[in-house]
Structure 1
Amino acid sequence: MSLQVCIMTPDCIFWNEQAEEIILPTNTGQMGVLANHAPLITALDIGVMLIRTKTEWISLALMGGFALVKQNQVTVLVNEAESAQNINADEAENNFEAAKNKLEQAEGQKQKVEANFAFKRARTRFQVAKQSQK
């Protein structure tokens, strides 16, 4: 038995296929979901979502949202999603380094919050791009 996984952004249905297992980036850490998982709703953090199909692992960059798991159907509602094919690895690495430097230099609460948000986005995109090169 497998999961029906549907990832939706405000613009479109980003991914809608069968999966054997998924790993979600929740606000409290990573959470794995297999077939017959207990029903739940969870908030999603900015992070990498891993999807295991019958033949491969797929990495996606998610930019926060929610996930609903019920009766082997997983609905993921996110602000933005990107696959490795849509991410330029060199650009992602440069953006990650720039965001890291900006976070280290941030002063004041507002600047630190904004820099941390940009850092998490850049780190996630870089991780997905890097995983696809393996």
Structure 2
Amino acid sequence: MYRHASRLLIRSSSSSASGGRAAAAAAGPRAAFSTDVPAPATEDTGFVEAWRKVAPSLEPPKTPSAFMKPRPPTPSSIPSKLTVNFVLPYQSEISNKEVDMVIIPATTGQMGVLPGHVATIAELKPGLLSVHEGNEVNKYFVSSGFAFIHANSFADIVAVEAVPLDRIDSSLVQKGLADFTQKLNSATTDLEKAEAQIGVDVHSALNAALTG
């Protein structure tokens, strides 16, 4: 329900969304994330040595470290900009863009991310994501996802669904909130209550994003 709620509240027709997805597909593969740095496979030397003592005639199996890439380098000084990647399952909204700050709706509360932010993984909840670049602020409503903040001032934000805030119809949000509140009050089973509560939570977050 998180994923589809914002889609139902978009002013534009579904054809424009389909066109955006087709354009994204035609643009080719996504830009590399900041963690996609080329590096040769590494061995867990301790495990390999222990394996060869026990089974010298057998090749040691691969361990997780053999498939892991090293962390991206951390600059010696804090850069002036934060590099942001913001992607959805079907398209890239922002690719390697240098900005001043992003504010993400983490489950622990609104979290501002500036250049030099400590490395963090944050789960996203339905809410407002804002990208600040000078005097320009781009706002999106996101349903859920994760934000990966790296020590080298890169931020990779992955959302299940996201909609530019200016494309959301506030009258439909108010109607949806009233409908789900009524369903919650009249629910008789745990399933009905859970579904109605999700609807109330999503529409309340949408309303807060629009009025805040």
Higher strand share: 1
Contact 1:46–1:62 under 8 Å retained in 2? yes
Structure 1 gaps, min length 5: none
Percent identity for Structure 1 against Structure 2: 22
1:88 aligns with 2:169: yes
Q: Which amino acid aligns with 1:46?
A: P
Deviations 1:77-119 (A, max 9, x none): 1110011232122222222222233233333322222112222
Query: RMSD across aligned C-alpha pairs, in angstroms?
Result: 1.9
Structure 2 residue 211 is matched with structure 1 residue 125: no
Secondary structure, counterpart of 1:10 in structure 2: coil
Q: Distance in 2 between the 1:111 and 1:23 partners? A: 33
Larger radius of gyration: 2
- Work out whether 1:3 is the aligned partner of 2:91: no
Structure 2: which 5+ runs fail to align?
Answer: 1-79
Deviation of 1:55 (Å): 0.9
Q: Provide TM-score, normalisation by structure 1.
A: 0.84
Task: Kindly report which structure 2 residues correspond to 1:111-122, keeping only aligned pairs within 5 A, or say none.
Answer: 111-122=192-203
Question: Are the structure 2 counterparts of residues 102 and 18 from structure 1 closer, same or farther at C-alpha, using a change threshold of 3 Å?
Answer: farther
- In the alignment of these two chains, the number of paired residues is 131
Cα contact 1:14–1:81 (8 A) shared by 2: no
1:35 corresponds, among 101, 115, 123, to 115
